[in-house]
Structure 1
Amino acid sequence: MPLPSAVLFDMDGTLVDTEHLWWEATAEVAAEVGYTLGDSDLPEVLGHAVEHTAAHLDSVVTGSPGAAVLGERLNSAFTSRVAAQVVPRPGALALLAELRDAAVPTALVSASPRQVVDLVLTHLGRDWFTVTLAAEDTERTKPDPAPYLAAAAHLGLDPAVCVAVEDTPTGVASAHAAGCAVLAVPSSDVAIPAGPGITLLSSLLLADLPLLAGLTARPAE
């Protein structure tokens, strides 16, 4: 079975265990302005860029210092946590190694700022990826399809022959809208519905080349 032409990976919560660090950073900044983060905030925090979450906090906090100030605080709190602890998700490095051995190009497609992406790459290794995209690299970020469209364009490929690996509904929406086959490996309790072009898996430990090949080999639905 032909292999996918490329595999495009989300970063936070997919390849590295940083989604909880983002939640912790957001909870800290929220507490500083008198707001307690709760389950109702999950859809506006997990999988989103700093600017989106800052705008959300600005809308729910009475007497907010403004989205720009909140964004700076979120970026600082998250960056300091990432610098202190970057842990690959189970199965992530093994899958990257399998793809490299099979000469399948890979891209990192993140909604995090370049500063955070570069910190993670220092720990994870830059050589795994042919292309890396951060939040600043496209005019619009997830859930817009722009990041995945840009990654495929950088590789000279049609998104339809690529597999995107994601962990949140926001990221899945971005990759699916771009036309990629999507492998969703949830990192939180936020449900990701299965559907045409979206395959759910409980762990990257269960992902391998035959499974990825099967995703792009499926006829369009």
Structure 2
Amino acid sequence: MTSPAPALVLWDMDGTLVDTEPFWMAAETPLVERFGGTWSHEQALGMVGLALEDSARLLQNAGVPWGVDEIIAYLTDEVLRQLAETGVPFRPGARELLADLRRSGAKTALVTMSMRRMALAIADLIDFPAFDIVVAGDDVARPKPHPDPYLQASAALGIDITRAVAIEDSPNGLRSALASGAVTLGVPLMVPLDGLGAHALWPTLDGRTAADLAALHTAHAPALTTATNPQETR
């Protein structure tokens, strides 16, 4: 089958494919409070799309006396525990769009700054082979908003990044995708994405199809430019 434009669709995970941000927040608050600190909703919102290492340092500043790696491991375990108890909350239309892309012949990649074990656990809960490749936070030297994670995924599949659409929900994720050279779609959830340069902002993926992404790519690919930007998001 001939692949449509785009040849590759690159998916962020937390907040884009699955609505796990409340699970991260639910893990952060009791951790800070365990050591006598306080953690507001505004502070939690400030962690959306932030580097996992930077998130860990903010929790250290709030009084958590653990190392960065220990904090990341704890948060990952807690989010996975919540997912096991409640199931995976896919964002509206995300699973259906993934299935339509697979039928269309487009390649798909999961590009997340969560740990690989979490990314694989979520991918395994999808009832069809959803992704050709997973690039996770512990797979890359330079995380989002560097372009490296998206470039690594496209290179691994042998597809030029200009033939790709990336779907993101956070400012850092958008910066990473735009810097890579992909056509970039923002689907906001917890924080606004206006004015960040996304080629399009859709309020939801519900009802969207592979044909919609093909039209988006066709409309914007010729005008792509490449920039750079540093760090890592979940």
Q: TM-score, structure 1 length as denominator?
A: 0.89
- Matched to 1:205, the amino acid is D
CA–CA distance in structure 1, aligned partners of residues 30 and 7 of structure 2: 41
Where structure 2 has 5 or more consecutive residues not aligned to the other structure, the ranges are 225-234
1:151 to 1:115, Cα distance in 2 relative to 1, 3 A: same
Q: Tell me the equivalent position of 2:154.
A: 152
Tell me whether 1:120 sits opposite 2:122 in the alignment. yes
Q: TM-score, structure 2 length as denominator?
A: 0.84
CA–CA distance in structure 1, aligned partners of residues 135 and 128 of structure 2: 12
Aligned-pair identity (%): 36
Q: How far did 1:120 drift?
A: 0.7
Where structure 1 has 5 or more consecutive residues not aligned to the other structure, the ranges are none
Over aligned residue pairs, what C-alpha RMSD do you find?
2.1
CA–CA distance in structure 1, aligned partners of residues 47 and 196 of structure 2: 23
CA displacement 1:130-177 (0-9 Å, x = unmatched): 111111111122222111010111111221210001111121111111
Contact 1:49 1:135 in 2 (8 A): no
Q: What is the SS of the residue equivalent to 1:98?
A: helix
CA displacement 1:28-72 (0-9 Å, x = unmatched): 2222223322244246421234322111212x2247344343333
CA–CA distance in structure 2, aligned partners of residues 131 and 213 of structure 1: 20
Q: What is the SS of the residue equivalent to 1:107?
A: strand
Name the one with the larger helix percent.
1
Tell me whether 1:220 sits opposite 2:219 in the alignment. no
Q: Tell me the equivalent position of 2:57.
A: 55
CA–CA distance in structure 2, aligned partners of residues 39 and 153 of structure 1: 38
CA displacement 1:182-213 (0-9 Å, x = unmatched): 1111121x111245443111111142223212
Contact 1:152 1:159 in 2 (8 A): yes
